[in-house]
Structure 1
Amino acid sequence: MLLNTLCAHTCNSFPKNLFYFLKHGLIVQRLLGKKPNCSGHAHVSTKPSSVDWIKQGRTIHQNLNDNRSSNNSVCPQPLIRSFHRETVINGQEDDGSGGRQTSAEGLTLHNLTHRSLVCVEGPDSVNFLQGLLTNDVNLLGSDRPVQYSMMLNAQGRVLYDLILYLKDSKIFIECDAQVRDEFIKTIKKYKIRKKVEINKVDGEWMLQAVVTSSLKGNSASPTWNESVFCVTDPRVKDFGWRLIHHSSCDKVCAERIEEKDVSLYNERRYIWGISEGISDLPPGECLPLESNLTLFNGVSFDKGCYIGQELTARTQHTGVTRKRLMPLVFERVPSGLQPGCIIVRADGKNVGKYRSSFGIHGIGLIRIAEIKGELSVHSSDGDILKLTTHVPNWWPK
């Protein structure tokens, strides 16, 4: 009755095919045993007002025109879903794939063989790590199961870059595989009488990453297997996801994700300007703020004391960080470059140091004020390589 009255009073204001979609959307919801909810919020009354129907109609009419202009065709299915976003086929919700197995476009899966997992468990685990790492370990919880952090030496230089995961009351710590044993040995020095157990778990647990090929960030999250512990990357959330699961798990998600070598993962990291491991962060040589620790949400300035805190806090409160790790793009694939090679401007002025690269993409420590224009670096065999750098789009504006 309401729909017929609306048609009679507004037929001169809206196209006739609009009411087809209104009727169709109403019928679909009635068949599903649901009451129409035009506002998208909780029902306040059992009867939608004519004003709500008209507003929804205008929205659909605009969508209809947009579809015509972009596709030159009209598909009623998305418009029906503007009234009810679930379509049931044979008792199952339709995901738009028509029952076919879908693929996660632009995503790739990588086994992080260059990274290792260390498990810290016991009643004193949080307090133990709180005095060693730059981030506030007390913030780990069900609503924040992952965080980035660093361990510094007494002089405030970076020893290890770490990612912490809270799973089943255990804290898994991701570190560079080349320094895993050294990391365990170092933190055990501070164990004293604390009730904690520290073990390497690489054989039992597998660490993987799913990353996007787009610099615009993640698409919709895949449907992860229930046995997979999955979190967004704590450094740059749009870069992708970190996965931890038992080594016996053979399928991480419902969608098909192409598995690629870890070298492609590293290249994409460099495209984004994300540092990781001892090749990008030589132990004992790097300052944490120049290594983008604050941009990676990896430090707390009000948690209290930890090793190397004094220099880090003093540098932060001066408000000046003149150099940072930034992405490099070479004119061709570099050869003969050693970590620490000097990067210069056209006039020969020193603007930074090369750290590492894969393909034509790399990372280096650059003076922020000197990033414009063409730069160059001299390789060990006397070759001169031209390169450029830029501010990553995920940096705060």
Structure 2
Amino acid sequence: MHRFKSVLTTANRRVLHSATEAGGPLASRLTSRSVIRFAGPDTLKFLQGLLSNDVQRLGKPPGELTSSLATPNSPAATSSPMYAAFLNPQGRFLYDLFLYSKPQAEEKLDRTGSGPGSDPGDGAVELFADVDASVLDELLQTFKKYRLRSKVEIENLSEDFNCWQRFGRNLVGKSRAVEEPEAASVGWGAGVDRAAMSASHANDGGWQWFRDPRLECLGFRGIFPSNTVPPLVEADKEADEENYLMWRIDNGVAEGSTEIPKGEAIPLEYNLEGINAISFDKGCYVGQEFIARTHHRGVIRKRLVPLTFLDDNGKEVEQKVAPGSDVIDAASGKKIGAVTTALGCQGLGLLRLEEAFKDSSSLTIQGLEDVKVQARRPSWWPVEWLPEHRQHSAVA
């Protein structure tokens, strides 16, 4: 069952569309996510052997460019967050994580604000992770099971921090140098976000927005102390998390162990390589052999795609389709996939691409033949994923 019990009505979707198109971006506190912390000298090595992305990158000095919002008190350069997956030995998806590294001492100012800070500690790596709250206890137990003798502390910080997402069409397509016009005056300024001022002066209280490491179209993501509202979040632009879910559905992106079925989902079918969750250049990690074999075979016949549910007149149908419903090709009567997530008249489905996107396809929901299914190709998809590209390549 999907973690959200209610659905967006047509009126609510109009509000979402209006706010993200003209009235400025929305921000949602993600109650479906929790924050955990990894710390200790073996942190990077430990996670590198478990996760699908190249975690060692988080231990390197940041480059000149930063993916954070360009606010007055942020460090000159910060390490971008990383999206990664934890798989089982058979290469099936278990959990997803957004990993954040804290700014290093040399990236901050000293107490006077006149020079780089110094590190009074032992230099041990500290990473924060934004994880699926619905499997938090199980996730912590799994990580601790793999820890063995590694010098890594794993701590639940769900009471201390919240995860937030900031999204909207007017956040997309801006250069890193420009980011947002209001950032220059609102940002981390004193009197607006005092906690962030402390971060630039080598304290632990400040946090910032980062461009979503998966796709630019998803906006900005960050973790913030639970007793504060992040900078740039206006009171009339704070929205329920379902609005963010609808935004992800519209862009064809699943998140968490419910939308990406735990222990079942094949990561490449859920487009994890396209949303920067997988490194094919790093060494071994749990499930790596299956991922590498599937990737080098080169043909993924099923993928996660955004869906719209319509009646015979082409009008959107609300609240009739549930996750798990089979999608049928009406012409052949064959099942071509299933709905994985549903909200209002939209959803995500794992479908066979050849049947989903052929010109003559007429898709319906099994048992609801009066509900038509329209599958869409997200704009961010690489051309290599499209069936016609594979056919053209084969002919050539």
| Same-fold call, TM cutoff 0.5 | yes
SS at match of 1:293: coil
Q: Deviations over 1:129-161 (max 9, x none)?
A: 000001010112534431111111111100112
SS at match of 2:150: coil
In the other structure, the counterpart of 1:109 is 27
Alpha carbon RMSD of aligned pairs, Å? 2.3
Structure 2 residue 290 is the aligned partner of structure 1 residue 311: yes
Largest Rg, 1 or 2? 1
Task: Summarize the alignment of residues 97-176 of structure 1 with structure 2, pairs less than 5 Å apart.
Answer: 105-140=23-58, 141=60, 142-143=62-63, 144-168=79-103, 169-176=125-132
Give 1:215 deviation, angstroms: 9.9
Give 1:228 deviation, angstroms: 3.1
Closer, same or farther: CA 322–260 of 1 in aligned 2, 3 Å:
same
In the other structure, the counterpart of 2:200 is none
In the other structure, the counterpart of 1:356 is 341
Q: Deviations over 1:164-215 (max 9, x none)?
A: 1112442111221110110110011111111111011111112100011469
8 Å CA contact retained: 1:203, 1:247: yes
Equivalents in 2 of 1:369, 1:211: separation in Å?
Answer: 32
SS at match of 2:237: strand
Letter in 2 for 1:152: L
In the other structure, the counterpart of 1:196 is 152
Task: Summarize the alignment of residues 1-397 of structure 1 with structure 2, pairs less than 5 Å apart.
Answer: 105-140=23-58, 141=60, 142-143=62-63, 144-168=79-103, 169-213=125-169, 220-221=179-180, 222-223=182-183, 224-225=187-188, 226=196, 227-253=206-232, 258-331=237-310, 332-335=317-320, 337-339=322-324, 341-372=326-357, 373-379=361-367, 384-397=370-383
8 Å CA contact retained: 1:376, 1:386: yes
Closer, same or farther: CA 233–131 of 1 in aligned 2, 3 Å:
same
8 Å CA contact retained: 2:51, 2:285: yes
SS at match of 1:265: helix
SS at match of 2:256: coil
Equivalents in 2 of 1:104, 1:234: separation in Å?
Answer: 25
> What TM-score does the superposition give when structure 2 sets the normalisation length?
0.69
Closer, same or farther: CA 346–264 of 1 in aligned 2, 3 Å:
farther
In the other structure, the counterpart of 2:122 is none
Give runs of ≥4 in structure 1 deviating > 6 Å. 254-257
Equivalents in 2 of 1:272, 1:194: separation in Å?
Answer: 39
8 Å CA contact retained: 2:27, 2:233: no
**Larger relative contact order (Cα-Cα within 8 Å, sequence gap ≥ 6):** 2
SS at match of 1:229: coil
Equivalents in 1 of 2:220, 2:321: separation in Å?
Answer: 33
In the other structure, the counterpart of 1:56 is none
Equivalents in 2 of 1:249, 1:183: separation in Å?
Answer: 26
Give 1:277 deviation, angstroms: 1.5
Closer, same or farther: CA 287–122 of 1 in aligned 2, 3 Å:
same
Equivalents in 2 of 1:229, 1:216: separation in Å?
Answer: 18
8 Å CA contact retained: 1:334, 1:385: no
Equivalents in 1 of 2:250, 2:39: separation in Å?
Answer: 36
> What TM-score does the superposition give when structure 1 sets the normalisation length?
0.69
Equivalents in 1 of 2:321, 2:332: separation in Å?
Answer: 23
Structure 2: 5+ residue stretches without partners: 1-20, 64-78, 104-124, 189-195, 197-205, 311-316, 384-396
Q: Deviations over 1:283-314 (max 9, x none)?
A: 11110110111101111112111111111100
Closer, same or farther: CA 257–212 of 1 in aligned 2, 3 Å:
farther
SS at match of 1:363: strand
Structure 1: 5+ residue stretches without partners: 1-102
8 Å CA contact retained: 2:172, 2:216: no
Closer, same or farther: CA 258–130 of 1 in aligned 2, 3 Å:
same
